Amino acid sequence: MRSTFYTEDHEAYRASVAEFLRREVEPHHGEWEAAHGIPAEVWTSAAAAGLMGLAVPEEYGGGGEPDYRYRFVVAEEIARTNTTSFGVGLGLQDDIVIPYLLDLATDEQKQRWLPAMAAGELIGAIAMTEPGTGSDLQGIRTTAVRDGDDWVLSGAKTFISSGMHAGLVIVVARTDAEAGSRGFTLFVVEQSDAGFTRGRQLEKVGLDAQDTAELFFDGVRLTADRILGQEGMAMRYLMERLPRERLSIAAAAVAASEAAVRWTLEYVHSRTAFGQPIGDFQNTRFVLAELETECDIARAYVEKAALALNLGELTAVEASKAKWWTSELQVRATSRCLQLFGGFGYMLEYPIARAFRDARVQTIYGGTTEIMKEIIGREQAARYARR
């Protein structure tokens, strides 16, 4: 079946993305993984090539293109080249941090931060997770207390993607212990703010080139213009923007699953065992037939979700369905494909080994599979309670 998801403009953009990755990323990605970081100049190059700040309006130096299908193209090319750490860094900016600023920042705040972000000169991060608080955001202990016209921010965050290099961090803090879900506020912290420090860079199972850090806020004094949006509205803002983040993970998961199947098909039909191509064995055919079918079905759902996002109609439940199913598919696909590579699949020189390693976190960050199912289940229960 021929897809009508993309237009000629999307395919032209794909060619430019592929060329940038071929020239600027693929030859160096292994070095970045060994060094556990991506050089700052890569982000400015990516922005100049149109890979960052796609939805940022042109008046702030961005691409002025909100169509999510362009981000989907980037996810597919990242998966094809197996440059996942770089792709996660891009996704953090365009699908998580920048949308908060586009939707919630004042004109003055946008002028202050968006041009540098669209140029790749300023890297952003969002700090929600704490050492004692994972999926339960209501348990956040980081606080911001009024002191005259200012706020004083204190606490610690962990598992913060791009935390080592971020020049701007959106921090979720408790501002009213008695207000329940309306007792949390978003603040913007800059790297030069006194009292803001970084802890160690965390060692992970995968995504070796993507830095993840601990962050500490020791009495960071912030003026009122560092509040993002309205006081007490953080939880609502998070819930409104998590669907895009989860769609980003789903798009990457579908693309990575498809890439794993392609690599494996090429391998099993070029390598022989017991006098015949591995691809001619029934078990091999069945495994790959199942995975290709699941990828096709997953893509249809995620493409539909992307179009819904474009229309402003993607719901939390739909995004949760896309996120848990595709991320679990990615883990399953990379594992089963690695098995068909045999011993070579366990060698990091083969892309399937690196894809297997990098896939595992997909079912965890952005909301675990279990949390996704809980969101869906609550909506089901509420639906029947209304009958």
- Report the pLDDT value the prediction gives residue 3, as an integer from 0 to 100: 72
Catalytic member of 214, 245, 258, 318:
245
CA 374, 375, 378, 379 torsion: positive or negative? negative
The H helix count followed by the E strand count for the chain is 12, 10
pTM: 0.95
Q: Radius of gyration over alpha carbons of the chain, in Å?
A: 21
The token pair that represents 30 in the structure block:
């292994």
Secondary element (H or E) of residue 173: strand 168-174
- Report the pLDDT value the prediction gives residue 139, as an integer from 0 to 100: 82
Residue 245 annotated as catalytic = yes
Using a CB cutoff of 8 Å and minimum separation of 24, what contacts does 87-92 make? 87/252, 88/161, 88/207, 88/210, 88/252, 89/38, 89/43, 89/123, 89/161, 89/162, 89/210, 90/46, 90/51, 90/52, 91/248, 91/249, 91/252, 92/124, 92/125, 92/126, 92/161, 92/162
Q: What is the mean pLDDT of each run of 10 residues along the chain (387 residues)?
A: 85 98 97 95 97 96 96 98 97 96 97 97 96 78 95 96 96 93 96 97 95 97 97 95 96 98 97 93 98 98 97 97 98 98 96 97 95 96 84
What is the β-pairing status of strands 276-277 and 272-273?
antiparallel
Express each pLDDT in 46-84 by its tens digit: 999 999 999 999 999 999 999 999 999 999 999 999 999
- Report the pLDDT value the prediction gives residue 133, as an integer from 0 to 100: 76
**Contact partners, residue 124, CB within 8 Å, separation at least 6:** 92, 93, 97, 98, 101, 113, 117, 162, 166, 167, 168, 169, 170
Structural domains of the chain in order of their starting residue, each with its CATH number = 8-122 (1.10.540.10), 125-232 (2.40.110.10), 236-385 (1.20.140.10)
∠ CA 305-308-310, nearest 5°, is 115
Using a CB cutoff of 8 Å and minimum separation of 24, what contacts does 178-184 make? 179/232, 180/138, 181/138, 181/235, 181/236, 182/232, 182/233, 182/235, 183/232, 184/137, 184/140, 184/232, 184/234, 184/235
